[in-house]
Structure 1
Amino acid sequence: MSVPASEPANGHAEPWQRVHPVSPLVRGWLAVVAIAFVYGQNTLSSSFGGEGPYPGEEFVDGGSLLVPVLIGSGILVLILLGFLGSWWFTKYQITDRHVNVNSGMIFRQQRQARIDRVQSIDIAQPLVARIFGLAELRFDVADSGSAAMSLSYIKLSEAHQLRNTILARAAGLKAAEAPQQSRTPGPEQGEPSEHGAGADRGVHAPDSAAAQLQAASEYVVATVPVGRLVGSLLLRPVTMFVVLGLAGLAYSMSAFDGFNPVYLIPAFLGLGGVLWNHINTGYNFKAATSADGLRLSYGLLDTRHQTVPPGRVQAIKVSAPFFWRRFGWYKVAVNVAGVGGAGAEDSAERSVLLPVGTYEDVLAVLSVVLPDPGTPAAREFFAAAINGSGDGHGFIVSPRRVRPLSPLAHRRQGYAVTDTALVARSGAFHRTTAIVPHERTQGIRLYQGPLARRFGVAELQLATIAGPVAPVVHQMDLDEARALFLAQSDRAAVARKKKDTNHWLEEA
């Protein structure tokens, strides 16, 4: 007889837990405030309207005010009952294999995510949730896109503990049965606890193999000072072009029709919104390494704690915009299944491992998400990959005959192969370096346009999951591109057979 999916192998069903009782208020407080404002405004305007016995005096009908107050109180009671019902019918369960979430009072919804398909887990704290000390747990599951499952809201300490437990099981650590004394007396197995989230700690007791993971301390490898963050935003080419465009528009208006700053308000609001979004998501940015991967924390008003397991990273990109290179600043982004899809919420921000950092910060981040670079001289190799040009350190670059097509970039664009990854670099002004582990190569495409045929070159495109990284080896000699196409196909097949980076913490 097979064991049900909601039960561990020992036959004991894991208990169901409820979210925090304040969760419905945190989710729906804005709607409550809007309803109260509109209803109160209409009530006061109707009760205090009309003319009084003296000129200029408004008439106040105290009797007519009683009925709206009673109706408003009834509406408030109904809203509170709805919140109570929403809390009562929202429960979750963590097993060795699945994360189950049931919700809905009238329309019931049951969602299930396989733990071995969990790509990353975020702990998000909107401003109102921070006031109550609550957090939302967001699960990024492979191929889920914007439909990634979430658990909101639970205590912040509970969220951290759940994240560690789930990531430990997703990484391959085998769950051991919790000691019997760790389970508190409660309802029958399979029923939710009456005391809200975390009342029964049996499911959250540390696994014998996961205890070290949960207790492991974080080691900070990179931080982003506020001055560097603001400077990087001002030195972005888009920001500089918009500012120059607004200055040119203002000069034209003052020269012909007279300058009126009111016309520039929408443009300033748009630019300010973009800058604020980057500051809000990059403020107090910290990258730390731990046993379960790279932990990122950032946010000004809304804070987020994000964990990126190294075994889930599909591709890495290190970019250096032209105006950043004078200060030695770089940006690191990755493709992670379930995070960077077109419909995923905040996919651009959540795919960034380092918004702006130094070369040492880049190496520290790469050491976590790419622990084995496959080359003995990793520091010199990545220096050549990120900032170098020419055929040093094993790089093969475009032939000289493509100079008319790429007069500035032909000496830089090329590729190198290590024991564990393929590294492609490109760009003269905006330099980019793409890194794809061999086992993460999902497909290879050889492309040749009309001009490329004329010059006898071709492009090699590596297919990964959706995200900000699009690995391409530009304008290689046709014979060299064909040889790379066949060799990389073989390397990818062999690497997938030898290495399973999904269970990156699996015990012997």
Structure 2
Amino acid sequence: MSEDVLDGEQPFTTDDTETWHRVHPVSPLVRGWVAVVAVIFIFGRNSLESVFSEGWDGGNALTRGTPALFMAVVVGAAVVIFGVAFFLSWRFTRYQVTDEHVHINSGIVFRQQRRARIDRVQAIDVAQPLVARAFGLAELKFEVADGGKSAMKLSFLKLGEAKRLRAAILARAAGVAIDPEAPGQVQEAPESHVLALRPGRIIGAAFLGSTTVLALCVIAAALVAVAWSGKPGVLVGAVPIFIGIGAAYWKNITGDFNFRVAVSPDGVRLHYGLLETRSQTIPPGRVQAVGISQGPLWRLCGWYRVHVNVAGYGTDSSDHGSRTVLLPVGTLDEVMAVLGLIFPDPGVENPFEVFGAGLRGPADAQGFVHSPRSARWIDPLSWRRNAFRATETALLCRRGVIFRSLQVVPHERTQSLGLRQGPLMAALGLVDFELHSTAGPIRPLVHHMSLANGLQLFDEQAARAATARRVHRNEKWLATPVVEPALPVEPVEAPAATEQQLRIKEQERGY
């Protein structure tokens, strides 16, 4: 049973077309306290400066209390103005969840009416900022497939209400059949624990990450500057940089703290955060691409980081990209466990060996095809690491020597394909193969392939993607699937490279 049912709360009931709801009445306070504090800080600082410069005893008795009185008037006016504005914002914000759509109406002067199809929802987050946690409130945010431009938010709801609303949206998106005896009622799906990261590993990963590499470079540059100038005072110029580095450490640690992975019929659930907690749900089949990366310092501990492209998240530049992180730091076994949640069928009989070879194996291990020897002239370090392999369900692309990465793209999630070739690559008989995914941190790319291998992969991957899209048409993962028979993919013999093909700049194919 779900947590809400155990607490004795009623399951969420979807609405009819005449029923509307409002967010919690405390929402204006949760959203507006930052503005009030900013006004108090600005005018309070000015008043204190005036006191210390002129003193409380300066002037006559009529003007003696002016700074404090002025501050009180300004702060009071700010509280009233912001309070009225946020109250009206709350008063004119309504939402409705039916079996097919989510509606949100908002705006005071400029009214806005938004509607999203439930079956197009890509992911749902339940976030609790620090102040909202004190009131037991949460923000519900769900994405549709447009790169994050139409993210819809409900700020703020009671935590139990947000969970039940999330359950209703995910159940309808999954195609759960409506019970005729209890129409519209949905209970939150239970979840099963998969793994949790210890605080020590989160802290260790932060101090062995790219931020430490930057800090070492700054320290080295500062020491060189002191030795060259002979003036230790130049170190003062590096203080803002070190403050920024410290803030980056703090954000990485607090953002990934208490990271837990669970699985439910709704999809993969991620829980993380120290001050602001977030419960993130990614429904099955919504992951467009997966990227596994490893930095040079993490190699000492055997740690990897897993990112995902999800339609709706976009590049996720906020919160150090935590919303696109499927696993902030994990061993190879943990990486494989997480991949098994989103890719139940890897398309090979020995997935551990194949994915392990993609991350750290020899150049041509487990069927990976790497760059030819001619690529060493323009890529002397990683030409043997640039490789690809296609399984029955996904395409694997790997690259990098110092910073290693492996990208995995399901065939049915292929958006388009591209081949690129510049003048120098044309002279060496090389080509770059790019598989286009939705907007996100992962850009699947195979550098410096031979022209013959590039053309062959281009044709074969186009056939695989078209076949997979016909087979995996059903977006409602809990509904009865309609599966068409798969058409066999015949190997395509690579044609002989012509002079025109050698001069190709780019050729693409979309789906």
Relative to 1, partners in 2 of residues 1:398 and 1:51: Cα closer, same or farther, differing over 3 Å? closer
Match of 2:201 in 1: 228
**How is 1:65-144 mapped onto 2 (pairs within 5 angstroms)?**
76=79, 79-144=82-147
Distance 2:79 2:46 in 1: 16
Q: Deviations over 1:448-486 (max 9, x none)?
A: 222322222222110111111111122222112111111
Query: Against the structure 1 CA distance between its residues 239 and 410, is the aligned structure 2 distance closer, same or farther, given a 3 Å change threshold?
Result: same
CA displacement, residues 274-306 of structure 1 (integer Å, 9 cap, x when unaligned): 222212211111122221111111112111111
1:172 aligned onto 2:175: yes
- Tell me which amino acid in the other structure corresponds to 2:128: Q
Structure 2: how far apart are the matches of 1:216 and 1:484? Answer: 42
1:329 to partner: Cα distance? 0.3
Equivalent residues of 1:311, 1:503 under 8 A apart: no
**Residue 338 (structure 2) aligned to one of 351, 357, 365:** 365
- Determine if the alignment matches structure 1 residue 246 to structure 2 residue 219: yes
Structure 1 residue aligned with 2:326: 353
1:271 aligns with one of 245, 255, 270: 245
Q: Do the aligned residues in 2 keep the contact of 1:99 with 1:112 (CA within 8 Å)?
A: yes
Conservation of the 8 A alpha-carbon contact between 1:253 and 1:259: yes
Match of 1:497 among 459, 466, 470: 470
* TM-fit CA distance, 1:410: 3.0
Q: Pick which of 307-316 and 66-75 moved more.
A: 66-75
Task: Give SS of 1:21's match.
Answer: coil
What secondary structure, in the 3-state scheme, does the structure 2 residue paired with 1:466 have?
A: coil
Change (3 A) 1:439 1:133: same
Correspondence 1:428-507 to 2 at 5 A: 428-500=401-473, 502-507=475-480
Deviation at 1:34, TM superposition (A): 3.5
CA distance in 2, matches of 1:30, 1:358: 40
Structure 1 pair 45–314 and aligned structure 2 pair: CA distance change class (3 A) = closer
After TM superposition, give the deviation of residue 438 of structure 1 in Å: 0.5
Which residues in structure 2 correspond to 1:387-398 (within 5 Å)? Answer: 387-398=360-371
The answer for the alignment partner of 2:277 in structure 1 is 303
Residues 95, 47 of structure 1: CA spacing in aligned structure 2 closer, same or farther, 3 A cutoff?
Answer: same
1:421-452 deviations in Å (ceiling 9; x for gaps): 11111112211111110011111111222232
1:244-293: CA deviation from partner (whole Å, max 9, x where unpaired): 33243145326634212433211111211222221221111112222111
8 Å contact kept, 1:311–1:501: no
Question: Which letter maps to 1:156?
Answer: L
d(CA) in 1 for partners of 2:79, 2:260: 42
C-alpha contact 1:16 1:92 (8 A) present in aligned 2 = yes
Q: Distance in 2 between matches of 1:377 and 1:244?
A: 41
Report if the CA contact (8 A) 1:14-1:95 is conserved.
Answer: no
Which residue is equivalent to 1:314?
A: 288
Counterpart AA for 2:442: V
For 2:467, what is the secondary structure of its paired residue?
A: helix
Give a deviation string over 1:294-336, Cα, whole Å, max 9, x none: 1111112111111122311111111111221121100101111
Matched, 1:403 2:386: no
Q: Is the 8 A contact 1:452 1:458 kept in 2?
A: yes
1:18 counterpart = 2:19: no
Aligned to 1:193: none
CA distance in 2, matches of 1:281, 1:66: 41
| CA shift for structure 1 position 160 | 1.3
Q: Per-residue CA shift, 1:43-96, capped at 9, x if unaligned? A: 9999999999xx889847899999997897677556544443332222110011
Deviation for aligned residue 1:397:
2.1
- Give the whole-Å Cα distance in 2 for the aligned partners of 1:11 and 1:224: 39
Pairing 1:383–2:356 present: yes
1:490: how far off?
0.8
Distance 1:233 1:58 in 2: 58
Deviations 1:473-508 (A, max 9, x none): 222221121111111101101110111363222246
Q: Which residue of 1 aligns with 2:297?
A: 323
Q: List runs of 5+ in structure 1 lacking aligned partners.
A: 1-9, 181-202
What are the ranges of 5 or more consecutive residues in structure 2 without an aligned counterpart? 1-13, 482-511
Distance 1:490 1:35, change over 3 A: same
What TM-score, normalized by structure 1, do the two folds share? 0.82
Counterpart of 1:365 in structure 2: which amino acid? V
**CA deviation map 1:361-406 (0-9, x unaligned):** 1011100111111111112221112211233322222223433333
Write the letter of the residue equivalent to 2:113: Q
Distance 1:79 1:427, change over 3 A: closer
User: TM-score, normalized by length of structure 2?
Assistant: 0.82
Inter-CA distance 50–240: structure 2 relative to 1 (3 Å threshold): closer
Corresponding residue for residue 197 of structure 1: none
One-letter code aligned to 1:174:
A
Aligned length: 466
- Quick one: which amino acid aligns to residue 37 of structure 2? V
For residue 284 of structure 1, what is the aligned residue in structure 2?
258
Q: Which is worse superposed, 228-237 or 115-124?
A: 228-237
d(CA) in 2 for partners of 1:151, 1:412? 46
- 1:232 to partner: Cα distance: 2.1
Shift in Å, 1:152: 0.4
Structure 1 residues 90, 439: closer, same or farther in 2, change over 3 A? Answer: same
1:136 is displaced (CA, Å) by 0.4
Q: Which residue of 2 aligns with 1:34?
A: 38
After TM superposition, list the pairs within 5 Å mapping 1:34-73 onto structure 2: 34-36=38-40, 59=61
Deviation at 1:20, TM superposition (A): 0.5
Aligned counterpart, 2:509: none
Percentage identity across paired residues of the two chains? 46
Secondary structure of 1:322's match? coil
Cα pair 2:211 2:248 within 8 Å, conserved? no
